[in-house]
Protein backbone atom coordinates (compact mmCIF):
# COMPACT_ATOMS: atom_id res chain seq x y z
CA UNK A 1 0.00 0.00 0.00
CA UNK A 2 1.42 3.32 -1.04
CA UNK A 3 0.06 5.46 1.80
CA UNK A 4 2.42 6.31 4.64
CA UNK A 5 1.90 7.42 8.20
CA UNK A 6 2.45 11.14 8.67
CA UNK A 7 5.53 10.56 10.76
CA UNK A 8 7.16 8.65 7.92
CA UNK A 9 6.52 11.14 5.12
CA UNK A 10 9.64 11.90 3.09
CA UNK A 11 12.10 14.60 4.07
CA UNK A 12 11.88 16.19 0.62
CA UNK A 13 8.67 17.93 1.73
CA UNK A 14 10.93 20.35 3.58
CA UNK A 15 12.52 21.61 0.35
CA UNK A 16 9.53 23.80 -0.50
CA UNK A 17 10.86 27.15 -1.58
CA UNK A 18 10.68 29.65 1.30
CA UNK A 19 10.63 32.58 -1.12
CA UNK A 20 7.36 31.70 -2.85
CA UNK A 21 5.74 30.83 0.49
CA UNK A 22 6.68 34.23 1.86
CA UNK A 23 5.57 36.03 -1.32
CA UNK A 24 2.23 34.22 -1.29
CA UNK A 25 1.67 35.03 2.37
CA UNK A 26 2.16 38.75 1.95
CA UNK A 27 0.13 38.81 -1.27
CA UNK A 28 -2.84 37.25 0.54
CA UNK A 29 -2.46 39.64 3.47
CA UNK A 30 -2.68 42.56 1.05
CA UNK A 31 -5.87 41.17 -0.47
CA UNK A 32 -4.30 40.58 -3.88
CA UNK A 33 -5.93 38.30 -6.44
CA UNK A 34 -4.22 36.19 -9.08
CA UNK A 35 -6.21 36.73 -12.27
CA UNK A 36 -4.04 34.34 -14.30
CA UNK A 37 -4.57 31.08 -12.39
CA UNK A 38 -3.06 27.87 -13.71
CA UNK A 39 -4.45 24.59 -12.43
CA UNK A 40 -2.85 21.19 -12.79
CA UNK A 41 -4.95 18.18 -13.79
CA UNK A 42 -3.48 14.80 -12.90
CA UNK A 43 -3.24 12.30 -15.76
CA UNK A 44 -3.82 8.56 -15.37
CA UNK A 45 -2.78 5.37 -17.08
CA UNK A 46 -4.74 4.35 -20.18
CA UNK A 47 -6.40 0.96 -20.52
CA UNK A 48 -8.46 -1.08 -23.00
CA UNK A 49 -8.93 0.54 -26.41
CA UNK A 50 -7.58 3.90 -25.28
CA UNK A 51 -4.15 2.43 -24.57
CA UNK A 52 -3.18 2.43 -28.25
CA UNK A 53 -3.18 6.24 -28.26
CA UNK A 54 -0.69 6.70 -25.46
CA UNK A 55 0.26 5.43 -22.00
CA UNK A 56 -1.62 8.15 -20.10
CA UNK A 57 -4.56 10.49 -20.66
CA UNK A 58 -6.78 13.29 -19.34
CA UNK A 59 -10.42 13.60 -20.36
CA UNK A 60 -10.83 16.94 -22.14
CA UNK A 61 -14.00 17.75 -20.19
CA UNK A 62 -11.91 18.49 -17.08
CA UNK A 63 -9.77 20.92 -19.03
CA UNK A 64 -12.80 22.69 -20.49
CA UNK A 65 -14.45 22.73 -17.06
CA UNK A 66 -11.59 24.76 -15.59
CA UNK A 67 -11.11 26.93 -18.66
CA UNK A 68 -14.80 27.91 -18.59
CA UNK A 69 -14.16 29.73 -15.30
CA UNK A 70 -11.03 31.53 -16.48
CA UNK A 71 -8.21 29.16 -15.58
CA UNK A 72 -5.51 27.67 -17.74
CA UNK A 73 -4.52 24.03 -17.38
CA UNK A 74 -1.27 22.13 -17.12
CA UNK A 75 -1.29 18.33 -17.40
CA UNK A 76 0.48 16.55 -14.55
CA UNK A 77 2.22 13.39 -15.71
CA UNK A 78 2.15 10.11 -13.79
CA UNK A 79 5.14 7.93 -12.89
CA UNK A 80 7.54 10.85 -12.51
CA UNK A 81 10.22 11.65 -9.94
CA UNK A 82 9.49 13.45 -6.71
CA UNK A 83 11.54 16.39 -7.97
CA UNK A 84 9.21 16.70 -10.97
CA UNK A 85 6.14 17.05 -8.74
CA UNK A 86 7.84 19.40 -6.27
CA UNK A 87 8.98 21.72 -9.05
CA UNK A 88 5.67 21.69 -10.89
CA UNK A 89 3.70 22.25 -7.68
CA UNK A 90 5.59 25.49 -7.08
CA UNK A 91 4.29 26.78 -10.44
CA UNK A 92 0.62 25.80 -10.10
CA UNK A 93 -2.24 27.54 -8.30
CA UNK A 94 -4.33 24.44 -7.63
CA UNK A 95 -4.72 20.79 -8.60
CA UNK A 96 -7.73 18.78 -9.79
CA UNK A 97 -7.79 15.00 -9.33
CA UNK A 98 -10.16 13.74 -12.05
CA UNK A 99 -12.44 10.73 -12.20
CA UNK A 100 -11.47 7.50 -13.90
CA UNK A 101 -10.57 3.93 -13.03
CA UNK A 102 -7.26 3.39 -11.23
CA UNK A 103 -6.07 1.54 -8.13
CA UNK A 104 -5.66 4.05 -5.33
CA UNK A 105 -2.86 2.16 -3.61
CA UNK A 106 -0.56 1.16 -6.46
CA UNK A 107 -1.25 3.23 -9.58
CA UNK A 108 0.84 6.08 -10.88
CA UNK A 109 -2.25 8.24 -10.30
CA UNK A 110 -2.39 7.26 -6.63
CA UNK A 111 1.35 7.68 -6.07
CA UNK A 112 1.46 11.09 -7.73
CA UNK A 113 -1.67 12.07 -5.82
CA UNK A 114 0.06 11.26 -2.54
CA UNK A 115 2.99 13.54 -3.34
CA UNK A 116 0.74 16.41 -4.48
CA UNK A 117 -1.55 16.00 -1.47
CA UNK A 118 1.39 16.13 0.94
CA UNK A 119 2.77 19.19 -0.82
CA UNK A 120 -0.62 20.93 -0.58
CA UNK A 121 -0.94 20.15 3.13
CA UNK A 122 2.59 21.44 3.75
CA UNK A 123 1.99 24.60 1.72
CA UNK A 124 -1.25 25.45 3.52
CA UNK A 125 0.36 24.78 6.89
CA UNK A 126 2.93 27.43 5.94
CA UNK A 127 0.29 30.03 5.03
CA UNK A 128 0.44 29.35 1.28
CA UNK A 129 -3.20 28.91 0.20
CA UNK A 130 -3.31 25.99 -2.23
CA UNK A 131 -6.63 24.35 -3.23
CA UNK A 132 -7.35 20.78 -4.30
CA UNK A 133 -10.46 19.37 -5.96
CA UNK A 134 -11.30 15.70 -6.35
CA UNK A 135 -14.02 14.34 -8.64
CA UNK A 136 -15.30 10.73 -8.40
CA UNK A 137 -12.03 8.76 -8.35
CA UNK A 138 -10.42 12.00 -7.16
CA UNK A 139 -12.92 12.14 -4.30
CA UNK A 140 -11.98 8.59 -3.36
CA UNK A 141 -8.28 9.44 -3.61
CA UNK A 142 -8.56 12.36 -1.19
CA UNK A 143 -10.49 10.22 1.29
CA UNK A 144 -7.95 7.42 0.99
CA UNK A 145 -4.93 9.70 1.36
CA UNK A 146 -6.36 11.34 4.47
CA UNK A 147 -7.59 8.15 6.14
CA UNK A 148 -4.41 6.28 5.13
CA UNK A 149 -6.57 3.20 4.62
CA UNK A 150 -9.08 2.10 2.01
CA UNK A 151 -12.59 2.59 3.39
CA UNK A 152 -14.44 2.23 0.09
CA UNK A 153 -17.67 0.24 -0.13
CA UNK A 154 -19.44 -1.05 -3.23
CA UNK A 155 -22.06 1.50 -4.27
CA UNK A 156 -24.40 0.78 -7.16
CA UNK A 157 -24.40 4.28 -8.63
CA UNK A 158 -23.40 3.98 -12.26
CA UNK A 159 -25.02 6.02 -15.00
CA UNK A 160 -27.53 7.84 -12.82
CA UNK A 161 -28.18 11.46 -11.84
CA UNK A 162 -29.49 12.48 -8.42
CA UNK A 163 -30.44 15.53 -6.39
CA UNK A 164 -28.31 15.76 -3.23
CA UNK A 165 -29.25 15.52 0.42
CA UNK A 166 -27.55 18.40 2.19
CA UNK A 167 -26.42 18.10 5.80
CA UNK A 168 -28.14 20.52 8.16
CA UNK A 169 -25.17 22.85 8.52
CA UNK A 170 -24.01 22.77 4.88
CA UNK A 171 -24.29 26.56 4.58
CA UNK A 172 -21.45 26.95 7.07
CA UNK A 173 -19.03 25.50 4.51
CA UNK A 174 -16.88 27.66 2.29
CA UNK A 175 -18.31 25.86 -0.73
CA UNK A 176 -21.89 26.92 0.00
CA UNK A 177 -21.68 29.90 2.35
CA UNK A 178 -22.24 32.31 -0.54
CA UNK A 179 -24.11 30.01 -2.93
CA UNK A 180 -27.19 31.58 -4.59
CA UNK A 181 -30.44 30.09 -3.31
CA UNK A 182 -31.30 29.10 -6.88
CA UNK A 183 -28.23 26.84 -7.08
CA UNK A 184 -29.09 25.21 -3.77
CA UNK A 185 -32.67 24.59 -4.92
CA UNK A 186 -31.43 23.01 -8.17
CA UNK A 187 -29.06 20.68 -6.33
CA UNK A 188 -31.68 19.72 -3.76
CA UNK A 189 -34.59 19.13 -6.13
CA UNK A 190 -33.32 18.18 -9.58
CA UNK A 191 -31.41 15.20 -10.99
CA UNK A 192 -28.34 17.22 -11.91
CA UNK A 193 -25.46 15.40 -10.18
CA UNK A 194 -24.29 12.63 -12.49
CA UNK A 195 -22.82 9.57 -10.76
CA UNK A 196 -20.63 6.95 -12.44
CA UNK A 197 -19.01 4.97 -9.64
CA UNK A 198 -18.94 1.48 -8.18
CA UNK A 199 -17.17 2.59 -4.99
CA UNK A 200 -18.08 5.13 -2.38
CA UNK A 201 -17.70 6.08 1.27
CA UNK A 202 -20.64 5.48 3.56
CA UNK A 203 -21.22 7.78 6.56
CA UNK A 204 -20.72 4.70 8.74
CA UNK A 205 -17.28 3.94 7.31
CA UNK A 206 -16.40 7.63 7.45
CA UNK A 207 -17.28 7.73 11.15
CA UNK A 208 -14.89 4.86 11.94
CA UNK A 209 -11.88 6.98 10.97
CA UNK A 210 -10.77 9.61 13.47
CA UNK A 211 -8.58 11.11 10.77
CA UNK A 212 -11.48 11.62 8.38
CA UNK A 213 -13.83 13.00 11.03
CA UNK A 214 -11.31 15.59 12.15
CA UNK A 215 -10.25 16.52 8.60
CA UNK A 216 -13.41 16.63 6.46
CA UNK A 217 -16.90 17.97 6.87
CA UNK A 218 -19.66 16.00 5.14
CA UNK A 219 -21.64 18.42 2.98
CA UNK A 220 -24.11 16.06 1.34
CA UNK A 221 -25.04 12.42 0.86
CA UNK A 222 -26.96 10.33 -1.67
CA UNK A 223 -28.50 6.87 -1.83
CA UNK A 224 -27.48 4.33 -4.45
CA UNK A 225 -29.82 2.12 -6.48
CA UNK A 226 -29.98 -0.33 -3.57
CA UNK A 227 -30.74 2.33 -0.97
CA UNK A 228 -27.21 2.48 0.48
CA UNK A 229 -26.26 5.98 1.67
CA UNK A 230 -22.91 7.36 0.49
CA UNK A 231 -21.15 10.70 0.88
CA UNK A 232 -21.45 12.88 -2.23
CA UNK A 233 -19.61 16.10 -1.24
CA UNK A 234 -16.99 17.03 1.35
CA UNK A 235 -14.65 19.85 2.21
CA UNK A 236 -11.73 19.96 4.61
CA UNK A 237 -12.12 21.99 7.78
CA UNK A 238 -8.64 23.50 7.78
CA UNK A 239 -7.58 23.24 4.14
CA UNK A 240 -9.11 24.40 0.83
CA UNK A 241 -9.69 20.79 -0.26
CA UNK A 242 -13.03 19.94 -1.89
CA UNK A 243 -14.46 16.79 -3.40
CA UNK A 244 -17.56 15.53 -5.18
CA UNK A 245 -18.32 11.86 -5.76
CA UNK A 246 -20.32 12.97 -8.82
CA UNK A 247 -19.18 14.68 -12.04
CA UNK A 248 -19.89 18.42 -12.39
CA UNK A 249 -17.91 18.60 -15.65
CA UNK A 250 -20.12 16.11 -17.50
CA UNK A 251 -23.28 18.22 -17.57
CA UNK A 252 -21.57 20.77 -19.77
CA UNK A 253 -18.96 18.87 -21.75
CA UNK A 254 -19.84 15.19 -22.18
CA UNK A 255 -22.55 14.31 -24.71
CA UNK A 256 -22.45 10.54 -25.12
CA UNK A 257 -25.90 8.98 -25.36
CA UNK A 258 -24.57 6.03 -23.35
CA UNK A 259 -24.86 8.08 -20.17
CA UNK A 260 -27.94 9.74 -18.67
CA UNK A 261 -26.33 13.15 -18.22
CA UNK A 262 -28.57 16.12 -17.51
CA UNK A 263 -27.93 18.93 -20.00
CA UNK A 264 -30.68 21.27 -18.83
CA UNK A 265 -30.13 24.96 -18.20
CA UNK A 266 -30.29 24.32 -14.47
CA UNK A 267 -27.74 21.50 -14.69
CA UNK A 268 -25.39 23.83 -16.56
CA UNK A 269 -25.83 26.54 -13.93
CA UNK A 270 -25.04 24.12 -11.13
CA UNK A 271 -21.88 22.85 -12.84
CA UNK A 272 -20.67 26.36 -13.59
CA UNK A 273 -21.13 27.29 -9.94
CA UNK A 274 -18.57 24.65 -8.91
CA UNK A 275 -15.93 25.49 -11.48
CA UNK A 276 -16.23 29.20 -10.70
CA UNK A 277 -15.86 28.45 -7.01
CA UNK A 278 -12.76 26.30 -7.43
CA UNK A 279 -11.04 28.62 -9.90
CA UNK A 280 -11.69 31.52 -7.54
CA UNK A 281 -9.99 29.48 -4.83
CA UNK A 282 -6.99 29.09 -7.15
CA UNK A 283 -6.90 32.87 -7.60
CA UNK A 284 -5.86 33.08 -3.95
CA UNK A 285 -2.59 31.31 -4.75
CA UNK A 286 0.43 33.10 -6.21
CA UNK A 287 2.76 30.38 -7.44
CA UNK A 288 4.20 31.07 -10.88
CA UNK A 289 6.48 29.49 -13.42
CA UNK A 290 10.11 30.70 -13.35
CA UNK A 291 9.73 32.32 -16.77
CA UNK A 292 7.22 32.65 -19.65
CA UNK A 293 8.97 30.00 -21.75
CA UNK A 294 8.56 27.30 -19.09
CA UNK A 295 4.95 28.31 -18.57
CA UNK A 296 4.16 28.10 -22.28
CA UNK A 297 5.88 24.73 -22.59
CA UNK A 298 3.84 23.26 -19.72
CA UNK A 299 0.34 24.32 -20.83
CA UNK A 300 -2.23 21.91 -22.25
CA UNK A 301 -2.25 24.00 -25.42
CA UNK A 302 0.79 22.00 -26.55
CA UNK A 303 -1.40 18.91 -26.94
CA UNK A 304 -4.32 18.15 -29.24
CA UNK A 305 -7.46 16.43 -27.92
CA UNK A 306 -8.67 13.39 -29.83
CA UNK A 307 -12.25 12.29 -30.41
CA UNK A 308 -12.71 9.23 -28.19
CA UNK A 309 -16.50 9.03 -28.03
CA UNK A 310 -16.55 5.73 -29.93
CA UNK A 311 -14.26 3.93 -27.49
CA UNK A 312 -15.02 5.56 -24.13
CA UNK A 313 -17.51 7.73 -22.25
CA UNK A 314 -15.33 10.78 -22.97
CA UNK A 315 -16.08 12.78 -26.11
CA UNK A 316 -12.49 14.01 -26.23
CA UNK A 317 -9.27 13.03 -24.49
CA UNK A 318 -5.68 14.21 -24.35
CA UNK A 319 -2.98 11.56 -24.58
CA UNK A 320 0.58 11.77 -23.34
CA UNK A 321 3.74 9.84 -24.12
CA UNK A 322 4.59 9.12 -20.50
Q: For position 222, which CATH number holds?
A: 3.40.50.880
Percent of the chain with pLDDT over 70: 91
Residue 87, domain member (yes or no): yes
- The arithmetic mean of pLDDT across residues 43-55, rounded, is 95
- Predicted confidence (pLDDT) per residue in 177-186, tens digit: 999 999 999 9
Distances (CA, A) of 17 to 12, 37, 189, 293: 11, 19, 46, 20
Total-model pTM: 0.90
pLDDT score recorded for residue 253: 98
Residue 143, domain member (yes or no): yes
The pLDDT of residue 266 is above 90: yes
Residue 240, domain member (yes or no): yes
With beta carbons less than 8 A apart as the criterion, state whether 73 and 66 touch: yes
Domain that holds residue 296: 38-320
For 109, the enclosing helix (H) or strand (E) is helix 108-125
Considering the candidates 29, 198, 247, 263, report the single residue annotated as catalytic.
247
Residue 164, domain member (yes or no): yes
Residue 7, domain member (yes or no): no
pLDDT score recorded for residue 137: 96
Q: Is 247 a catalytic residue?
A: yes
Residue 247 banded pLDDT, cuts 50, 70, 90: very high
Residue 137, domain member (yes or no): yes
Residue 190, domain member (yes or no): yes
- The Cα 140–Cα 152 span in angstroms is 8
Q: Is 29 a catalytic residue?
A: no
- The Cα 220–Cα 243 span in angstroms is 11
- Predicted confidence (pLDDT) per residue in 199-227, tens digit: 999 999 999 999 999 999 999 999 999 99
- The arithmetic mean of pLDDT across residues 119-146, rounded, is 98
With beta carbons less than 8 A apart as the criterion, state whether 66 and 279 touch: yes
Total count of domains within the chain:
1
Residue 1, domain member (yes or no): no
CA neighbor of 229 nearest in space, from 249, 258, 211, 207: 207
Residue 33 banded pLDDT, cuts 50, 70, 90: very high
Amino acid sequence: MFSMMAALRPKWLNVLNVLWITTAFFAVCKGAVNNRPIIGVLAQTTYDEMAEYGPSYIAASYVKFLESAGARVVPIAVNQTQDYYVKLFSSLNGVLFPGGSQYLETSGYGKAGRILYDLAVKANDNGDYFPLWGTCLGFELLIYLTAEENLMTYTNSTNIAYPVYFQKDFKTTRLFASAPEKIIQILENENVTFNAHHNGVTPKNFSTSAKLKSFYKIISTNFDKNGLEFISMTEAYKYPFYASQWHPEKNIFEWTVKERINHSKDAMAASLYFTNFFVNEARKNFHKFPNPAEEEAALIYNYKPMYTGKISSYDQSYFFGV
